[in-house]
């Protein structure tokens, strides 16, 4: 079980020649991922969803807030213990073309990490090759044809599978999948999504799925939660299917409206609207709702006070909006 | 038989009635590689009716971008156009014009926006200067009016025109560059526009707004647009007609809602089943089986989709099916039309 509480992250960046600017990348983000559960983070580029993922993997240090993995606060652990704990969380990158060493064969790559595992488990070379085959088969690759290949000989989808197999060598409890399907051909995306789903179901590996494509978040299996992130703040959360069908926050609705309609198979929801204004990283800190300047339904109070993420009746749903209203924006299937 | 031929006749008449902005016939493009000659585009006939949006879908490497380059006669080495004709407006053949005439047409009559818009902008010159360069190379007399029109277009695209004209490309975000690319394609009043994966690199929201702008401009200026993408969603949303491209050949074409609601080629069916959708049953989605076509696929005499096809027969291995009419404007290249998997 992984708990993130009130996470904050500030980045200091160079604005002009000698000026420094502080970017508030993540704002009081809290989320819980149960064992074998799945959480998707949805948002535009630059909204801070990747930063949340990186902090969870230990690649960034949170400015404030706590990350608790299996009951242990990682900031309070010693270095060695923390490294061992973070080994349980593996990151899968967006770009499969850059995540593999071009001078190593798949076999070299897999055995490099497996050797270390073998030492811990006091197993021999035989175990390593057996495990390599087992993992490659698990991700849907044929070990005999793929082991001696170099990364450039593989297609994008195959590379992504190799990367997942490599992440599995250390027997993780959680995968952070950062835009894993966005660089892969549309026809092959579903294969990767199904793989992630089966890892959840078979091995109880939990998944943090970071994406800007809401549709792919639906394919991670049952009981997945969707968190919508805007400018570093979680503005709506709930069960995936429920958020898609009954979105409360105008930003969630804008994202859902932006999904292209498959003419002939789908028809648009009746309240669909297109947001034309651009995402801006504002210079001054906004006081009011972060989305107020782009929101088509904003009222004067929205730019004066910021709404908090408030849970509704049952525990899973929450949204940060003063004027929540369910709008029917997601496309629905046409019946034949 | 008589039914089929009369249906064919009707189609011939219908096609003649509608003016074609571009009518390409029998296009063949070959790439010479160390492993031999690879036909990237084979025997493709494609029509772009005036004032309509046509979508071309295919996996990466299926030859869809090569086709667009061939239509503009801009295929680069090691590729070569082996045969074919591209008739513009029922008049000149793009493949037979002199290089200077071709250059005049590209940009002025045909606009294009590429996937990586940042690569088509000069990093050393401001956007405004590049518009002037474009105007000069196409002998535009009134450069002041050109800039004015560029500003108007940028405003339409939701950008701060003065700021954009004074910026270098690195000062603009991905979405802004893509919009600038669209402005460049339209500023010389091109009436045919090719959009090659031009929204793929964009975020959901900017993609939606760019698509909306394209839709508006198309209606207003009666543009002829060819939209190339691997994302069936973008194409399905925007285009009236759709061409499904597989391994260098068109395997199915027709009206978008027709093809999507009633796909006939097993590849089209597989593709539609394989896309993550926001609606419908998630368990009915299934990934497309098999691997993308490689050079071996091209060398076999039979149907190119044979390896991955769930309804193949022995006939499919021996002969390659031609694109044939199965409805008013719906064509499929498959021997097993009507057989469901």
- Residues A289-303 have pLDDT tens digits of 988 888 889 899 998
B259 CB neighbour count, 10 Å cutoff: 29
- CB-CB contact of A164 with A195 (8 Å): yes
Average pLDDT of span B250-263: 92
Average pLDDT of span B27-40: 86
Most distant pair of Cα atoms in chain B: their distance: 65
φ and ψ at B213, to 5 degrees?
Answer: -65, -45
Bridge-based pairing state of the strands A233-239 and A224-230:
antiparallel
Please state, in angstroms and rounded to a whole number, the distance separating the CA atoms of residues A19 and A42: 32
Please state, in angstroms and rounded to a whole number, the distance separating the CA atoms of residues A69 and A52: 15
Nearest to A219 among B205, B236, B276 (CB): B276
Nearest chain B alpha carbon to A46: B203
- CB-CB contact of A197 with A180 (8 Å): no
Distance, C-alpha B282 to centroid of its chain = 29
pLDDT category of residue B2 using cuts at 50, 70 and 90: very low
Given a cut of 90, whether residue B14 has pLDDT beyond it is no
CB contact under 8 A, B280 and A333: yes
Contacts of B176 (CB under 8 A, 6+ apart): A278, B159, B164
Given a cut of 70, whether residue A110 has pLDDT beyond it is yes
Residue A328 touches chain B, beta carbons under 8 Å: no
Range in A220-234, A312-326, B84-98 the model is least confident about = A312-326
| H or E segment and range at residue B30 | strand B20-33
Interface probe with B: pick from A44, A160, A262, most Cβ of B within 10 Å: A262
CB contact under 8 A, B278 and A186: no
Average pLDDT of span A282-290: 76
CB contact under 8 A, A189 and B275: yes
CB contact under 8 A, A261 and B236: yes
Average pLDDT of span A215-235: 91
CB contact under 8 A, B278 and A215: yes
Size of interface A-B (CB pairs under 8 A): 143
Q: Which ipTM value was assigned to this complex?
A: 0.82
For residue A257, how many C-alpha atoms fall within 13 Å in the half-sphere facing its CB?
21
Average pLDDT of span B173-193: 87
Given a cut of 70, whether residue B241 has pLDDT beyond it is yes
Q: How big is chain B, counted in residues? A: 341
CB contact under 8 A, B208 and A258: yes
Residue A93 touches chain B, beta carbons under 8 Å: no
Query: CATH number of B2-101+229-332: 3.40.605.10, 3.40.50.300, 3.30.1540.20, 3.40.50.720?
Result: 3.40.50.300
Average pLDDT of span A167-187: 88
Please state, in angstroms and rounded to a whole number, the distance separating the CA atoms of residues B89 and B87: 6
Given a cut of 60, whether residue B128 has pLDDT beyond it is yes
- The pLDDT, as a whole number, for residue B13 is 44
* Chain B stretch 224-283, residues whose beta carbon is closer than 8 A to a beta carbon of chain A: 230-234, 236-238, 256-262, 270-272, 274-280, 282
Given a cut of 70, whether residue B15 has pLDDT beyond it is no
Q: Which residues of A touch B175 (CB under 8 A)?
A: 278
Range in A111-120, A236-245, B289-298 the model is least confident about = B289-298
pLDDT category of residue B77 using cuts at 50, 70 and 90: confident
Please state, in angstroms and rounded to a whole number, the distance separating the CA atoms of residues A33 and A31: 7
- CB-CB contact of A249 with A318 (8 Å): no
- CB-CB contact of B295 with B304 (8 Å): no
How do the domains of chain A map onto residue ranges?
Answer: 2-88+172-245
Q: How big is chain A, counted in residues? A: 336
CATH 3.40.50.300 assigned to domain A2-88+172-245? The reply is yes
Average pLDDT of span A215-243: 91
Burial of B298 (0-12, 13-18, 19+ CB in 10 A): middle
Residue A69 touches chain B, beta carbons under 8 Å: no
Average pLDDT of span A72-101: 89
The three-class DSSP label of residue B227 is strand
- The pLDDT, as a whole number, for residue A212 is 86
* Chain A stretch 245-274, residues whose beta carbon is closer than 8 A to a beta carbon of chain B: 254-266, 274
């Amino acid at each position: 079980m992984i708990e993130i509480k009130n996470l904050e992250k500030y980045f200091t960046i160079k604005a002009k020649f000698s000026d420094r600017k502080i970017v508030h990348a993540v704002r009081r983000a809290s989320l819980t991922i149960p064992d074998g559960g799945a959480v998707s983070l949805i948002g535009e580029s630059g909204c801070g969803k990747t930063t949340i993922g990186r902090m969870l993997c230990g690649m960034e240090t949170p400015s404030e807030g706590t990350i608790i993995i299996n009951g242990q606060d990682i900031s309070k652990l010693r270095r060695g213990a923390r490294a061992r704990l973070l080994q349980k969380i593996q990151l899968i990158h967006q770009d499969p073309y850059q995540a593999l060493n071009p001078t190593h064969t798949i076999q070299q790559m897999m055995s490099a990490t497996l050797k270390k595992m073998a030492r811990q488990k006091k197993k021999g070379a035989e175990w390593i090759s057996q495990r390599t085959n087992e993992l490659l088969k698990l991700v849907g690759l044929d070990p005999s044809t793929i082991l001696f290949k170099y990364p450039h000989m593989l297609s994008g989808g195959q590379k992504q599978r190799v990367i997942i197999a490599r992440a599995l060598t250390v027997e993780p409890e959680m995968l952070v999948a950062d835009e894993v399907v966005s660089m892969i051909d549309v026809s092959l995306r579903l294969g990767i999504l199904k793989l992630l789903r089966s890892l959840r179901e078979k091995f109880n590996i939990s998944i943090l799925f970071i994406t800007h494509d809401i549709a792919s978040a639906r394919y991670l299996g049952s009981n997945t939660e969707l968190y919508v992130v805007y400018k570093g703040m979680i503005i709506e959360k709930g069960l995936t299917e429920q958020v898609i069908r009954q979105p409360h926050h105008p930003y969630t609705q804008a994202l859902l409206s932006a999904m292209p309609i498959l003419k002939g198979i789908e028809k648009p929801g009746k309240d669909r609207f297109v947001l034309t204004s651009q995402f801006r990283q504002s210079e001054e800190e906004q006081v009011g709702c972060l989305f107020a300047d782009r929101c088509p339904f904003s009222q004067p109070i929205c730019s004066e006070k910021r709404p908090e993420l408030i849970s509704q009746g049952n525990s899973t749903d929450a949204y940060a909006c003063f004027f929540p209203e369910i709008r029917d924006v997601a496309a629905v299937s046409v019946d034949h | 038989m008589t039914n089929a031929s009369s249906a064919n006749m009707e189609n011939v008449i219908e096609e003649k009635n509608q003016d074609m902005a571009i009518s390409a016939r029998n296009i063949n493009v070959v790439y010479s590689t160390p492993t031999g000659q690879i036909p990237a585009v084979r025997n493709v006939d494609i029509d772009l009716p005036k004032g309509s949006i046509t979508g071309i879908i295919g996996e990466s490497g299926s030859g869809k971008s090569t086709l667009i380059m061939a239509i503009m006669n801009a295929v680069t080495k090691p590729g070569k156009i082996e045969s074919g004709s591209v008739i513009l407006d029922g008049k000149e053949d793009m493949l037979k014009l002199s290089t200077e005439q071709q250059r005049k047409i590209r940009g002025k009559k045909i606009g294009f926006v590429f996937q990586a818009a940042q690569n088509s902008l000069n990093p050393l010159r401001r956007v405004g200067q590049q518009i002037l360069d474009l105007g000069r190379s196409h002998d535009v007399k009134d450069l002041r009016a050109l800039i004015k029109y560029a500003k108007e277009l940028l405003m339409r695209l939701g950008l701060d025109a003065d700021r954009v004209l004074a910026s270098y490309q690195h000062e603009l975000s991905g979405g802004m560059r893509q919009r600038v690319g669209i402005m460049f394609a339209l500023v010389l009043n091109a009436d045919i526009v090719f959009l090659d994966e031009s929204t793929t690199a964009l975020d959901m929201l900017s993609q939606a707004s760019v698509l909306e702008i394209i839709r508006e401009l198309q209606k207003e200026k009666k543009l002829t647009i060819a939209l190339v993408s691997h994302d069936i969603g973008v194409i399905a949303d925007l285009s009236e007609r759709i061409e499904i491209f597989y391994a260098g050949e068109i395997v199915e074409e027709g009206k978008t809602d027709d093809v999507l609601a009633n796909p006939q080629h097993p590849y089209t069916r597989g593709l539609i089943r394989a896309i993550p959708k926001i609606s419908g049953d998630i368990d009915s989605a299934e990934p497309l089986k098999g691997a993308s076509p490689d050079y071996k696929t091209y060398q076999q005499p039979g149907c190119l989709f044979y390896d991955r096809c769930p309804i193949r027969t022995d006939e499919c291995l021996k002969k390659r099916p031609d694109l044939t009419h199965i409805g008013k404007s719906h064509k499929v290249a498959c021997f097993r039309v009507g057989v469901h998997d």
